[in-house]
Amino acid sequence: MIVAEAKPLDEIKRLVADAEKILVVGCGTCVTVCFAGGAREAAVTASMLRMAGRLEGIERQVTDVTVQRQCDWEYVDPIADQVAAVDLVLSLGCGVGVQALVERFPDAWVVPGLNTKFMGVTLEQGVWAERCAGCGDCLLGLTGGICPIARCSKQLLNGPCGGSIDGHCEISAETPCAWQLIYDRLAGKGKLDALLEVQPPKDWRPARHGGPRQIVRDDLRLNEAEVGQPAEQEA
Amino acid sequence: MRENGYLSGSNLERVLRAGRFAVTGELGPPQSADGSVIREKAALLQGACDAVNITDNQTAIVRMSSIGAGTIVVQEGLEPVIQMTCRDRNRLAIQSDLLGAYALGMRNVLALSGDHQTFGNHPAAKNVHDIDSVQLVQVIADMRDKGVFQCGEAFKGQEPRFFVGAAAAPFAHPLDFRPYRLAKKVNAGANFIQTQLIYDIEAFKGYMEKVRKLGLHEKVYILAGVGPLKSPAMARYMRDNVPGMLIPDAIMERMSAAGAPWAGKEELSKEDKKARSQAWREEGIKITIELIQQLRAIEGVAGVHIMAIEWEEAVRPIVEGAGLLPRPVLEPAA
Amino acid sequence: MTDQPTLQIVAFCCHYCAYAAADLAGGLRLQYPPSVKVIEVPCTGKVDVLHLLRAFEHGADGVIAAG
């Protein structure tokens, strides 16, 4: 899932400073699971903004609503009226959610309430860790299912570097060395031979370095007739 | 390979090919644009080493570029080994910098991943790591041997012909994989290897035994890293904080013992402190000389790489003490 | 602070203990400031941070969750 974290209240206050009517929009998917931008966080944020406004002598109308997924039109369309009724939308979605609201409601002013951090797992309650960098060309099949792009501080394809010690990375004792993990995993499966081959330089084009990415699946796209008005087709 | 049989014709390559025990040093460029610092350090190393490594933003602290400083070193008549990290440049920048370095007279390159930028003075920097050190070795070797850029396009004109070096950390983890990682660098095309600082000779002998079993010592010149300790505190710091740094108790004790005459005194005068520091440094140099002699006796060790960090003055006495002066003067490659 | 009757305090009290205690206090004719507003909850585990915030938003100076 996408893991995010709330922005500091002071920063949110600055982002909403000019607004009198604010709609806080939570998202019911990834950011709910990581306790950053679900219904509860949206309600708490709205309450905090109301109180913060009152302490500054500003009577703000702050309401909140949470949609199942901010990144899908079908879920954001139903809040169109609420969005139209406010000066500012504070999105507690990930960066995708914020931009989906901007695209769907171009007249609205939408600001982010979260910092989107990474794609990762919940290791334990309150602890999340990055697992995928979305490089667009998955190499987990080579590395025993442990990603050096997301988890090695230097994104080495022929690791580990000389900074690997006692299972952790040179950058901190709290950061596991991805290549130690890869080594242990392959050793355990009797597949260490896979590490002897020199991996060539990676093609980073699928990884965003070839420009913003988009996927077009012609097998799934609707044809022109299907996109048109069904009523007209019938007529 | 060229007609003269040399890959690059660098002095370091010629010394190693002649079967002489090679000595490389290290020259850290300043955190300024002052070229005179390079000239002063070069003078200290002149005649004591076959080539000197010019570090590339070592410990991720911005310094004069290795190629800029290397140009001055070439002017001073000393041979540089250009260190090139993958942290700060993508494959375009790396290759173009290497073309420039070759045109400016540089003939040796050491390919490194680079210390992580969070250690340095620009921790907020974005790192690159487009390619890694093993791939960099391959890129530089292919430029020379296949006459192609990394993308596969052929050179239109002179290709850069470098003697390609790589680093090895024999005691970093996972220990069992270290000889194999060295093998990867050799397979990628490394011609010489400079190791992390070695203080534990027994452990290094074990590593070299595995290296020999893989036959690597016959395919690559291995220069063992050595460096004089300045004080017991420095030794402790390195042992406890630098990954893969083994310093045996016997060496720790020798460093402490060197300062023993001042140990009991309650308050040390400035002169006392100076004398103690002097005693420590002398012991550090002595230990380094002994280490070199022990390393030289290990089969497959083709030379030493002396890392005297901000203490270039120590190099000449070490090389002299180890009986490695004068350095061989070989006819330039045809 | 508790001596100042003007301070508005909202007390979320557990049905089984704190609320029962308040009931008993009433039975014993013990006094507590009228500015303390008791809200009975089935369990203080049910008290949500939103309840606390809502109390503050409506002018409470302090909130007690007693259970």
- pLDDT tens-digit series, residues B284-316: 999 999 999 999 999 999 999 999 988 999 999
* Percent of chain B at pLDDT exceeding 70: 99
CB count in 10 Å sphere of residue A57: 6
Question: What pLDDT sits at residue C5?
Answer: 55
Q: Which long-range contacts (CB under 8 A, 24 or more apart) does B103-107 make?
A: B104/B67, B104/B70, B104/B71, B104/B74, B105/B71, B105/B74, B106/B67, B106/B70, B106/B71, B106/B74, B106/B80, B106/B82, B106/B162, B107/B8, B107/B9, B107/B10, B107/B11, B107/B12, B107/B13, B107/B79, B107/B161, B107/B162, B107/B163
Cα distance between residue B71 and residue B68, in whole Å:
5
Q: Measuring CA to CA, which residue among A138, A139, A121 is closest to residue A130?
A: A121
**Distance from C30 to chain A by nearest Cα, in Å?**
35
Question: What pLDDT sits at residue A234?
Answer: 45
Cα distance between residue B244 and residue B195, in whole Å:
11
Beta carbons of B173 and A177 less than 8 Å apart: yes
Chain A residues within an 8 Å CB radius of C50: 40, 43-44, 47
- At B21-75, the pLDDT tens digits run 999 999 999 999 999 999 999 999 999 999 999 999 999 999 999 999 999 999 9
Interface mutation target, options B88, B134, B143, B149, chain A, most CBs of A under 10 Å: B134
Subunits with 3+ C-beta pairs closer than 8 A to B: A
Q: What is the average per-residue pLDDT within B238-242?
A: 93
DSSP state of B154: B
Q: What is the average per-residue pLDDT within B225-248?
A: 96
Cα distance between residue A224 and residue A230, in whole Å:
11
Asked if residue A42 lies in contact with residue A92, where contact means CB atoms within 8 angstroms, the answer is yes
Confidence band (pLDDT; 50, 70, 90) for A19?
very high
Confidence band (pLDDT; 50, 70, 90) for A87?
very high
Asked if the model's pLDDT at residue B5 lies above 80, the reply is yes
Beta carbons of B135 and A163 less than 8 Å apart: no
Q: Which long-range contacts (CB under 8 A, 24 or more apart) does B183-188 make?
A: B183/A196, B183/B214, B183/B216, B184/A158, B184/A196, B184/A198, B184/B134, B185/B133, B185/B134, B185/B137, B185/B220, B186/B216, B186/B219, B186/B220, B187/A198, B188/A198, B188/B134, B188/B135, B188/B137, B188/B138, B188/B141
Beta carbons of A51 and C49 less than 8 Å apart: no
Cα distance between residue B31 and residue B69, in whole Å:
11
Model pTM above 0.95? no
- At B9-31, the pLDDT tens digits run 999 999 999 999 999 999 999 99
**Distance from A90 to chain B by nearest Cα, in Å?**
28
CB count in 10 Å sphere of residue B82: 28
In 3-state terms, what secondary structure has residue B5? coil
Chain A residues within an 8 Å CB radius of C48: 40
Question: What pLDDT sits at residue A227?
Answer: 75
Question: What pLDDT sits at residue A231?
Answer: 52
- At A159-211, the pLDDT tens digits run 999 999 999 999 999 999 999 999 999 999 999 999 999 999 999 999 989 99
Mean pLDDT of chain A: 95
Question: What pLDDT sits at residue C4?
Answer: 55
Between A94-103, A130-139, B267-276, the lowest mean confidence (pLDDT) is in: B267-276
Q: What is the average per-residue pLDDT within A23-46?
A: 98
Asked if residue B161 lies in contact with residue B3, where contact means CB atoms within 8 angstroms, the answer is no
Domain-wise residue ranges, chain A: 2-118, 135-235
For chain B, domains (ranges, CATH) are: 11-231+292-321 (3.20.20.220)
Token pair for residue A50?
């109301």
Contacts of B117 (CB under 8 A, 6+ apart): B60, B87, B123, B125, B127
Asked if the model's pLDDT at residue B201 lies above 60, the reply is yes
Beta carbons of C53 and A40 less than 8 Å apart: no
Whole-angstrom distance between the N-terminal and C-terminal Cα of chain B? 13
**Distance from B272 to chain A by nearest Cα, in Å?**
37
In 3-state terms, what secondary structure has residue A47? helix
In 3-state terms, what secondary structure has residue C38? strand
Mean pLDDT of chain B: 96
In 3-state terms, what secondary structure has residue B167? strand
Task: Compare B152 and A59 and report the one with higher pLDDT.
Answer: B152
Asked if residue B153 lies in contact with residue A176, where contact means CB atoms within 8 angstroms, the answer is no
Cα distance between residue B33 and residue B62, in whole Å:
11
Residue of A nearest to C48 (CA): A40
CB-based contact (8 Å) between A40 and chain C? yes
Chains A and C touch each other (3 or more Cβ pairs < 8 A): yes
In 3-state terms, what secondary structure has residue A121? strand
Question: What pLDDT sits at residue C6?
Answer: 82
Asked if the model's pLDDT at residue C1 lies above 70, the reply is no
What is the dihedral angle through the alpha carbons of B80, B83, B88, B92, rounded to the nearest 10 degrees?
Answer: 70
Asked if residue A37 lies in contact with residue A31, where contact means CB atoms within 8 angstroms, the answer is yes
Question: What pLDDT sits at residue B47?
Answer: 96
DSSP state of B262: G
Fold entry, domain A2-118? Rossmann fold (3.40.50)
- At C30-62, the pLDDT tens digits run 988 889 999 999 999 989 999 999 999 999 999
Q: What is the average per-residue pLDDT within A16-20?
A: 94
Confidence band (pLDDT; 50, 70, 90) for B165?
very high
Asked if the model's pLDDT at residue A235 lies above 90, the reply is no
Q: Measuring CA to CA, which residue among A157, A182, A156 is closest to residue A167?
A: A182
H/E element holding B319?
helix B315-321
Confidence band (pLDDT; 50, 70, 90) for B265?
confident
Asked if residue B159 lies in contact with residue B99, where contact means CB atoms within 8 angstroms, the answer is no
